[in-house]
Structure 1
């Protein structure tokens, strides 16, 4: 099951509570007001961009303040120009993360 599917099934309130954050702390990290976040936690449909930011920041634990457009550009370039190297680097990075955990 992909992380995106997982987010669609897990309530944002559940994710927030597991992280031990209040609504202000949780939602402000992805640019959503506390009142807006409260509405999402109460069942209002969450737009895909908000859902993806929630996944990146709170599930994948990515510091989006550190990601730069040029980083994305390099990844996209590598995928197209040398897919074998990209796959090797991706595999090695995953293995290193598993080993560190």
Structure 2
């Protein structure tokens, strides 16, 4: 999934993860009532959609990511795209 793509079936993602609305939405900084509205079809802001993707689809623990990590990843992607792609593929393979 690309950044900022529309996330389909949010409720299905949450249920597949076995989380209630409070557990699911609090991990991306959204209240239960706000999350309920998004699950019912209300338009979700792009930053919330991206956080949802990172946390619940990509399974990234945001508490472990810091500014330096993001800067290194951006430089690696920009200056060594082949190495970045190779490492990304290897990381996905290890997840499985």
Band of TM-score, shorter chain: 0.7 to 0.9
1:55 corresponds, among 46, 53, 56, to 53
Bigger Rg over Cα: 1
- The match for 1:70 is 68
Q: Which moved more, 1:28-37 or 1:71-80?
A: 71-80
Q: TM-score, normalised by structure 2?
A: 0.82
> Could you tell me how far 1:81 is from its partner in structure 2?
3.2
Q: TM-score, normalised by structure 1?
A: 0.79
**Contact kept? 2:25, 2:35, Cα under 8 Å:** yes
- The match for 1:11 is 9
Given the alignment of the two structures, is residue 82 of structure 1 paired with residue 65 of structure 2, yes or no?
A: no
Larger RCO: Structure 1 or Structure 2 (Cα < 8 Å, ≥ 6 residues apart)? Answer: 2
| Aligned positions, number | 95
Gaps of 5+ in 2: none
**Contact kept? 2:6, 2:49, Cα under 8 Å:** no
> Could you tell me how far 1:13 is from its partner in structure 2?
1.0
Q: Which moved more, 1:85-94 or 1:68-77?
A: 85-94
